[in-house]
Amino acid sequence: MAARCVLGSIWTSLSGVKSVASSSNMSVFQSITNYPQLSVFGIIQSRGIRQVVEKKEGKTTIIEGLTQDTPTGPQPPNPTAQCPIYRWNLQNKYNYTDVLLLSQFIRSDGGMLPRRVTGLCAQEHRKIAICVQMAHRAGLLPDHKPPLPEGHVPKKPKPQLNRYLTRWSIDSVKPIYRAGLKWCKNRISVGHPALRNNVQYGKKILYLKH
């Protein structure tokens, strides 16, 4: 895992000016931490959700990350694996509909968290990113939209169309003017080939070209 800087009592040793400069960044994040702004020697590794607490004592501002005691949840069935998906044996079992799973890897504005933070392996990170994209396009994550600037008026009202399993971005796709005959048809792609190995619980095969 990447080395993490712990926002603990180490920060109190820094001068007031430096912490004030970074406090404007840190005040945004209230509960999720570990965005190391400065390299500190004597790095202690620990895991847990931390609460950012600001204290002002005269001229010095102390910003502390206090580790919150989270109740220990159920243990993963495979604790020795590196990637969280492999730890919980969910390798080929998730889809764009599993919003409870996907929401653990996204930011509040809908973007993915970096791999070095979540600890996912490359392939699973890509698959989760693809599923998150499809979930956004299906409208399954309504609260994770990026904040629009104030006073933003949309020029043309976009048509509200329901969709699911959209592989490509809506504005980037061109219409298929000449589809061709049955034996050489220009097919429309559905889903994503990265999820080809997903477990199918019925007799139906996963069709990626419609």
Partner 1 sequence: MSSFTKSAQQWATFARSWYLIDARMQPPGKIATMCAIRLQGKHKPIYHALSDVGDHVVVMNSRHIAFSGNKWEQKMYSSHTQYPGGFKQVTATQLHLKDPKAIVKLAVYGMLPRNLSRRTMMQRLHLFPEDDLPEDILLNLTEELPQPREIPRRLNEYSQEEREAFPTLWTP
Residues that bind partner 1 (CB under 8 A): 32-34, 47-50, 70, 73-74, 76, 84-85, 87-88, 96-97, 99-101, 103-104, 117-119, 138-144, 159, 161-168, 170, 173-177, 179, 188-191, 210
Closest approach of partner 1 to the CB of residue 82, in Å: 11
**3-state class of 137 per DSSP?**
helix
Closest approach of partner 1 to the CB of residue 20, in Å: 25
Closest approach of partner 1 to the CB of residue 59, in Å: 31
Q: Which two tokens stand for residue 187?
A: 């097919």
- Which of 62, 190 has the CB closer to partner 1? 190
Closest approach of partner 1 to the CB of residue 155, in Å: 17
Nearest to 102 by CA among 72, 68, 143, 162: 143
**Residue 194 CB contacts under 8 Å (≥ 6 apart), including other chains:** 123, 126, 127, 130
- Which of 13, 162 has the CB closer to partner 1? 162
- Which of 60, 118 has the CB closer to partner 1? 118
- Which of 48, 111 has the CB closer to partner 1? 48
Closest approach of partner 1 to the CB of residue 38, in Å: 19
Q: How far apart are CA 10 and CA 29, in angstroms?
A: 19
Q: How far apart are CA 22 and CA 27, in angstroms?
A: 9
Q: Are 190 and 198 spatial neighbours (Cβ–Cβ below 8 Å)?
A: no
Beta-bridge partners for 54: 63
Q: How far apart are CA 47 and CA 52, in angstroms?
A: 15
Closest approach of partner 1 to the CB of residue 207, in Å: 9
- Which of 15, 104 has the CB closer to partner 1? 104
- Which of 41, 177 has the CB closer to partner 1? 177
**Residue 176 CB contacts under 8 Å (≥ 6 apart), including other chains:** 186, 188
